[in-house]
Structure 1
Amino acid sequence: MGPLDGITVIDFSTLLPGPLATLILAEAGATVLKIERPGTGEDMRSYPPAFGRDGGANFALLNRGKRSIAIDLKAPGAIDRLLPLVDRADVVVEQFRPGVMDRLGLGWDRLSQRNPRLVYCSITGYGQAGPKSQIAGHDLNYMAETGLLALAAGPDGAPVVPPALVADIAGGTYPAVINILLALTERQRTGAGRRLDIAMTDNLFTFMYWAMGDGIAGGEWPRPAGGRVTGGWARYRIYRTGDDRFVAAAPLEDRFWSIFCDVLDLPDAARNDQADPEGAARIVADRIRSRTAAEWQAAFAGRDCCCVVVNSLEQAMADPHFVGRSLFSRGLLDGLGGRMPALRTPVVPEMTATPAEAGYPALGEANGLLGG
């Protein structure tokens, strides 16, 4: 039994933010019923690479341990068949544009009247109200409009495509899970459910607290590659090694900077990086460039200076530290005997309820739960 054992979630979401949120809830023991289109299922089932017979690897990773109901929500009588399930549910998660669920007959006003204890979570890019609420977008758009993408620009001012879907996961998934759990806790006291408006763009501003402080209180808005934690300081940069790998250096505090300078055998002029920040950064870059990644890895070993060689994902998944913490020991089955590591979620092992080996749902396998 997990902490959410006995909680039933009806999941109308697709792609990443909602499905990852309900995966986390399922990992904690909730029963998640995924609503999908008949015939094809949700879009992520067809995304490459393939894995098994009923969905690609991305779908499998995000929907482990859930159940699937295939139903055409626009078909006559479909909503009436679905409503008895919603009446008994604890949580609804949806990811449509504002107004779509109302038009389907599954909006908050109707469902909360039928089930006053329902926690109803809507995840969108711009929220349920506002001038942009009906605009379509994806992760890159949300990061661009909130100013976060501009902070990821290089020295030439050109933003780079981030390697992680920050808006979807950090702006959508995690706030959704946090607020669902808060609402379920509140419900224990009040007996009433709650409507949750999760706007991915709203939640991105949290990640720019330092930039907002610099601009509002300090009067100096960060410029590309100019902020202290965006590459504008010798103490927080990525440096190229002699064999064209990279060192991530973050010796921010003086005690770490002092050790870092000792490892690099920097001259006094570079150690006083406050006097000539760019000059210090150039000297550090030259020193790092003079040796290979393996040499720097050996030099930094055992030295407390917050510097590491940049790993590839493949290298990271083979790192003895992460392997030793059993990050990839839980299995995801494909129904044909295939296996790959299950997606690691923030649910700690002690609160994880899904089996060590579990599959993802075949399309419509839980249709027997429908009424009518």
Structure 2
Amino acid sequence: MKVLDSVRVLEIGGLGPGPFCAMHLADLGADVISVVREAKGKTPTGPLLNRGKRSVFADLKTEEGRQLVLALVAEADALIEGMRPGVMERLGLGPDECLRVNPRLVYGRMTGWGQSGPLAPRAGHDTNYAAVSGALWGCGPVDARPVSPFAVLGDIGGGALYLMTGLLSGIVQTRATGRGTVVDAAIVDGSAHMLNLMLSARQNGVVADTRGQSVHDSAPFYDTYVCADGEHITIGALEPQFYSLLLDTLGLVAHPDFGGAQWDKAAWPVRRARLAALFLTQPRAHWQALLEPTDACFGAVLSPLEAAQHPHMRARGVYSEHQGVLQAAPAPRFDGAAYAPADACLPGAHTQAIMQGLEQAGAQAVWRQRRAP
């Protein structure tokens, strides 16, 4: 048994955050049926995002495809769609039509710009939404261009995870009231909402309104450094006890450059230069061996392939090779255990079985109706 075993989700196949959200729900036990259109050639993502799902082919521009979706909607707790605003309505599969078939449905809409506003009808991608929301602004030092990790900041952080929050919240409400709802999950909304911790720090002066003036992009004790082998490490010793431990472990307690207060910003450039020079004297593995066993708030910058081999990640079973693909295990954990990754299906792999199931359900409904007094 998994925590979402009682949830059935219908996914209108798309790209990026919608399929990721559906995979996440499937990871936690939801029965996810993905409706996809037969396509030739490569797609931007592989079949990993199909893990744990069932998949059926349907052309939504045909009446047959529309009726298939509505038949699946009738049995679903939630629907995920990632079309531009108005597309599902033009297909006859908008919220009004679907909620008419299933008044308890939670209809999840995943877009970059949202269902309303001047940019709502415009195209875009992860980096555009993160930029306009304000989330991309602080992703990089002042002397470099802002860069965010592929799809993480917008599509996943501000998009898929907020859509999942909305869907599960809607399901809780529906099970209490019997009424469905429509979730407008816009990446710009979620990405902006994630900034509230930063905006709270701004009130205390920890985050400035100018790049290169905040703790995360100017403090020597909260920075990324290059090592002798060209690899990188991170330091995050914000609290005074961790800062003192960092200096002690590096043999810098008595160094004149570090004699003043930790938060003396005038001394930060000199201290950063000193730390940068020190970390350049040894390879990353040296600093890992020295600092990882301490509370100096240290982390080596690892690629996903390297992270899969890190002792901590291996001990927790975070990464694995499943179906020949490196992937991360479902998260979070429940009662101390992580769920194992399910197999990923090929697009349309369950078309025949799902169609037969719908036909049988329809025949049974007719039989029950005829048997009724």
TM-score, structure 1 as length reference: 0.86
1:358 aligns with 2:343: yes
Report how far residue 366 of structure 1 moved.
2.2
Q: Which whole-Å CA distance do the structure 2 matches of 1:201 and 1:326 have between them? A: 33
Gaps of 5+ in 1: 49-57, 334-338
Q: Partner of 1:51 in structure 2? A: none
1:238 aligns with 2:224: yes
* Matched ranges for 1:1-372 at <5 A: 1-40=1-40, 46-47=42-43, 58-213=45-200, 221-229=208-216, 231-266=217-252, 267-272=255-260, 273-275=262-264, 276-329=267-320, 332-333=322-323, 339-348=324-333, 358-370=343-355
Secondary structure in structure 1 of the residue aligned to 2:138? helix
Report how far residue 3 of structure 1 moved.
2.4
Of the structure 1 ranges 295-304 and 185-194, higher mean CA displacement relative to structure 2 is found in 295-304
Of the structure 1 ranges 163-172 and 267-276, higher mean CA displacement relative to structure 2 is found in 267-276
Secondary structure in structure 1 of the residue aligned to 2:55? strand
> Residues 260 and 220 (structure 1 numbering): CA distance in 2 closer, same or farther, change over 3 Å?
closer
Tell me if the contact between 1:120 and 1:196 (Cα under 8 Å) persists in the aligned partners.
yes
Tell me if the contact between 1:68 and 1:367 (Cα under 8 Å) persists in the aligned partners.
no
Tell me if the contact between 2:228 and 2:281 (Cα under 8 Å) persists in the aligned partners.
yes
AA aligned to 2:330 is T
Q: Partner of 2:363 in structure 1? A: none
AA aligned to 1:102 is E
Secondary structure in structure 1 of the residue aligned to 2:107? strand
Q: Which whole-Å CA distance do the structure 2 matches of 1:292 and 1:365 have between them? A: 51
Of the structure 1 ranges 84-93 and 159-168, higher mean CA displacement relative to structure 2 is found in 159-168
Indicate the structure whose relative CO is greater, using CA pairs within 8 Å and at least 6 residues apart: 1
Tell me if the contact between 1:70 and 1:367 (Cα under 8 Å) persists in the aligned partners.
no
Gaps of 5+ in 2: 360-373
AA aligned to 2:258 is A
Tell me if the contact between 1:62 and 1:343 (Cα under 8 Å) persists in the aligned partners.
no
Tell me if the contact between 2:48 and 2:344 (Cα under 8 Å) persists in the aligned partners.
no
Secondary structure in structure 2 of the residue aligned to 1:195? strand
Q: Which whole-Å CA distance do the structure 2 matches of 1:303 and 1:85 have between them? A: 54
Secondary structure in structure 2 of the residue aligned to 1:69? strand
> Residues 27 and 220 (structure 1 numbering): CA distance in 2 closer, same or farther, change over 3 Å?
closer
> Residues 352 and 98 (structure 1 numbering): CA distance in 2 closer, same or farther, change over 3 Å?
farther
Secondary structure in structure 1 of the residue aligned to 2:193? helix
> Residues 9 and 248 (structure 1 numbering): CA distance in 2 closer, same or farther, change over 3 Å?
same
Report how far residue 245 of structure 1 moved.
2.1
Report how far residue 274 of structure 1 moved.
2.8
Q: Which whole-Å CA distance do the structure 2 matches of 1:320 and 1:197 have between them? A: 41
Q: Which whole-Å CA distance do the structure 1 matches of 2:194 and 2:334 have between them? A: 27
Of the structure 1 ranges 261-270 and 105-114, higher mean CA displacement relative to structure 2 is found in 261-270
- What does the per-residue CA deviation read over 1:156-187, in whole Å, with 9 as the maximum and x for residues that have no partner? 25223535531100111111111211111111
AA aligned to 1:264 is L
Secondary structure in structure 1 of the residue aligned to 2:287? helix
Q: Which whole-Å CA distance do the structure 2 matches of 1:304 and 1:218 have between them? A: 25
Q: Which whole-Å CA distance do the structure 2 matches of 1:153 and 1:355 have between them? A: 35
> Residues 62 and 343 (structure 1 numbering): CA distance in 2 closer, same or farther, change over 3 Å?
farther
Report how far residue 124 of structure 1 moved.
0.4
Report how far residue 221 of structure 1 moved.
4.0
Report how far residue 341 of structure 1 moved.
4.4
Report how far residue 293 of structure 1 moved.
2.2
Of the structure 1 ranges 23-32 and 307-316, higher mean CA displacement relative to structure 2 is found in 307-316
> Residues 96 and 164 (structure 1 numbering): CA distance in 2 closer, same or farther, change over 3 Å?
closer
Secondary structure in structure 1 of the residue aligned to 2:218? coil
Secondary structure in structure 1 of the residue aligned to 2:219? coil
AA aligned to 1:366 is T
Q: Which whole-Å CA distance do the structure 1 matches of 2:295 and 2:69 have between them? A: 58
AA aligned to 2:300 is V
Q: Which whole-Å CA distance do the structure 1 matches of 2:62 and 2:151 have between them? A: 37
Report how far residue 355 of structure 1 moved.
6.7
Q: Partner of 1:54 in structure 2? A: none
Report how far residue 154 of structure 1 moved.
2.2
Q: Which whole-Å CA distance do the structure 2 matches of 1:326 and 1:153 have between them? A: 31
